Amino acid sequence: MAKSLKSGVLTADEINIAFQNVGGKVMKRQVQESQQVKKGDILMVLDDTDTALAIDRLKAQVAGQQALVQQETTAIDIEKADIDLQEISTWRKIEEMQANLEAAQASKALASIEFDRYAKLGKTDNVSKSALDNIRNTLKSAQMNVIKLESQLATLTIGATPAQMNQFNQTKKAEGMRLQSIVNARAKLENRTNQLAQLTAQLAQSQAQLKQQQINYQRLTLVAPESGKILKLFYEEGELVPAGAPAVLLETDRKYVDIYVNEMMVNDYQPGTILTAQVPALDTQVKGTVRFATAAPSFADLRMTRERGQADLTSYQVRVYMQDIPKLLTGMTIEVNDAKHR
């Protein structure tokens, strides 16, 4: 009989369905035991009050951080434009300062000539002492003005290279001159850009937290991952469900039967092989597909006495997934047809 008839009990895959990474109080059970469900049907719903509040808080936080990022971005753009304008203005101011310095140097030279003339006349008493004092004060004022303008020009040109200064002295144009004040301002602007990057990273983190909470909100509704029959509901309405704890036991529509064949027959049951099986309880036939064939535990081997010169026969477990037909229930006997070996 074992060689001619391969039979087994129809079994179905069972899966435990759990709330993924969320827990809470059961607000509603949408199904009952033994109820048939389709993939995507709602099975159980948890209280969403805390998660909804967390989502609202994170939305407000994200909105505030977005405003800060936008504000900082605009401020950086304005400051960058101001620095560029300041650089051009400083170049023009340096050129103006150079022109004023040259004018002051000319005034100083003229005052020096006038003072020398008055000094010679003073030796012959041809000019009054007060006039000589006046021209002396004019010369000193011209000298002090030159010193002041030179100091101001040196301050404005801090950071310029010797080559740039030589070119400036020749062309009197400060365009392109490196200025330390502008370099420092741009360094501060770069540091502000780092602050903007930090604000952007904080915004991204809050957006990720918001997305996680929105996913958790969806996970508060437990749905059937595939079609099947509800075997057991582990929680009643009002009970607390721990995160990750199984809440529903589902018997899937994936039904199979295990048969055992000897090593001489196993090659006829390769994965993917289509078989025909008889269902005695329904007096009908059903098709099945071999999923795998593997060596069975030792208790299924056929042991024979070696005194008669016969060897042991190793059994192989063959799992056949059956086609789902009406009224085919788990626990029914399935007889796999095997005409080749009868």
Residue in the structure block whose two tokens are 């304005």: 78
Number of other residues whose CB lies within 10 A of the CB of residue 156: 21
DSSP summary character for residue 324: P
Distance from C-alpha of 66 to C-alpha of 202, rounded to nearest angstrom: 10
pLDDT at position 6 over 90: no
Query: Is the per-residue pLDDT at 308 higher than 90?
Result: no
Structure tokens at 196: 């903007």
Helix (H, G, I), strand (E, B) or coil at 280: coil
What the block records as the tokens of 3 is 């060689």
CA distances from 210 to 45, 81, 87, 217 (A): 21, 36, 44, 10
Under 8 Å CB-to-CB from 283, ≥6 apart: which residues?
none
Domain segments of the chain: what residues?
6-47+227-341, 53-206
**285 pLDDT more than 50:** yes
Q: What is the mean pLDDT of residues 34-56?
A: 95
Q: Which residues pair with 248 in a beta bridge?
A: 17, 233
Mean pLDDT for all residues in the chain: 88
Bridge partners, residue 294, by sequence: 317
Non-local (6+) Cβ contacts of 248 within 8 A are: 16, 17, 31, 43, 44, 222, 230, 232, 233, 234
Average pLDDT (153-180) is 91
- Express each pLDDT in 64-120 by its tens digit: 999 999 999 999 999 999 999 999 999 999 999 999 999 999 999 999 998 888 888
- Smallest Cα–Cα separation from 196: which of 78, 63, 72? 72
Contacts of 15 (CB under 8 A, 6+ apart): 225, 226, 249, 250, 252
Dump pLDDT digits (tens) for 198-237: 999 999 999 999 999 999 999 999 999 999 999 999 999 9
Structure tokens at 141: 């004022």
User: What backbone phi and psi angles, to 5 degrees, belong to 307?
Assistant: -60, -25
The 10 Å CB-count burial string (b at 16+, else e) for 221-257 is: bbbbeebbbbeebbbeeeeebeeeeebbbbbbbbbbb
What percentage of the chain reaches a pLDDT higher than 90? 70
| Over residues 300-327, mean pLDDT | 68
- Alpha-carbon distance of 298 to 314, in angstroms, equals 8
Q: Which element (helix H / strand E) includes 77?
A: helix 49-123
Residue of 33, 44, 58 whose CA lies nearest to 228: 33
Report yes or no: 275 and 291 within 8 Å, Cβ to Cβ. no
Q: What is the pLDDT of residue 311?
A: 45
Residue 117, both tokens: 């003339």
- The hierarchical CATH code for the domain 6-47+227-341 is 2.40.50.100
Model's pTM, two decimal places?
0.69
Write the single-letter amino acid at 234: F
Residues 6 or more apart from 256 whose CB is under 8 A from it? 10, 11, 12, 13, 288, 291, 319, 320, 321, 322
Angle between helices 129-156 and 49-123 (to 10 degrees): 150
Could you give the CA distance from residue 58 to residue 33 in angstroms, rounded to a whole number? 39
3 state DSSP class of 335: strand
* Model pLDDT for residues 267-279, shown as the tens digit of each residue: 888 899 998 898 9
